[in-house]
Amino acid sequence: MKPTDVLRREHRLIERVLGALEVAAERLRAGETVEPTFFLRAAAFIKEYADGCHHQKEEGVLFPAMQEAGVPVEGGPIGVMLDEHEEGRRLTAAMRAGAERLAAGDAEARDAIAESALGYIALLRGHIMKEDNILFPMAEEAMPPGARSEVAGAIERIERDESDRGLPQRYLALAEALEREASG
C-alpha cells in the first residue's frame, strides 16, 4: 500500500460532501429553502473530518516526511497546500457564521452562505486534484522506501485509532445524510 492511498480514499468521501454542499448552495442561491442546519452539519464534517482527520495525516505525517526528503515548504508545493488548507478553514468559518445568522432569522445571510460554500467547493476540488495528481506522486517519488514505509505505518496507526473511536462510520453516515438532504 502506498502511504497516499488512504489520503486518496478520504478525498473521495470529501468529494461526496462537496457534491451535496454544491446542490444545497445552488438551491439556496435559487431562493429555495435549505435549513441552516444542513450548512452547520456540512461545516462540522469539514472541520472534523476534512480538516481534522484528513489534514492531520497530511500536515502531521506526509508533509514533514516530504520536507525531510527535500521537498521545500516555502515557495514549494507543500506551502501551497498549507495555504489552501488555511483558506478552506476561512471559507468554512464564513459558511458556518452565515448559517448561524440564517438560523437566527437573518435572511440576508443566504448569499453569504452560498458564496462561502461555493468558494470552498471550488477551492477544494482544485486542491484535491493537485494533491491526487501532483503532490502525492511527488511524495512517492521524493521519499526513499524507508520513509514511505514509515509514513504508511504512521497513517495506518492514525486510521486504527480513528476506527477504534468509530469515526469512519460516523463521517460516512454524515456524508450520506447530507447527500440525501441536499437532493430532497
User: What does the pLDDT look like over 85-134, one tens digit per residue?
Assistant: 999 999 999 999 999 999 999 999 999 999 999 999 999 999 999 999 99
For residue 120, the model assigns a pLDDT of 98
For residue 172, the model assigns a pLDDT of 96
Residue 6 scores a pLDDT above 90: yes
Inter-axis angle of helices 36-45 and 109-130, nearest 10: 30
Taking the C-alpha atoms of residue 24 and residue 35, their distance in angstroms, rounded to an integer, is 9
For residue 184, the model assigns a pLDDT of 76
Domain ranges of the chain: 5-183
* Side-chain half-sphere exposure of 112, counting CA atoms within 13 A: 17
What pTM did the predictor assign?
Answer: 0.95
Measured CA to CA in angstroms, residue 137 lies from 20, 123, 129, 171 at distances of 28, 20, 12, 27
For residue 41, the model assigns a pLDDT of 98
- Within a 10 A sphere around the Cβ of 98, how many other Cβ atoms? 26
Domain 5-183 has CATH 1.20.120.520: yes
DSSP string, 86-109: HHHHHHHHHHHHHHHHHHTT-TTH
User: What does the pLDDT look like over 56-78, one tens digit per residue?
Assistant: 999 999 999 999 999 999 999 99
Residue 177 scores a pLDDT above 90: yes
Kind and range of the H or E run holding 84: helix 77-103
For residue 11, the model assigns a pLDDT of 98
For residue 1, the model assigns a pLDDT of 72
DSSP string, 20-45: HHHHHHHHHHTT----HHHHHHHHHH
Mean pLDDT, the chain, as a whole number? 96
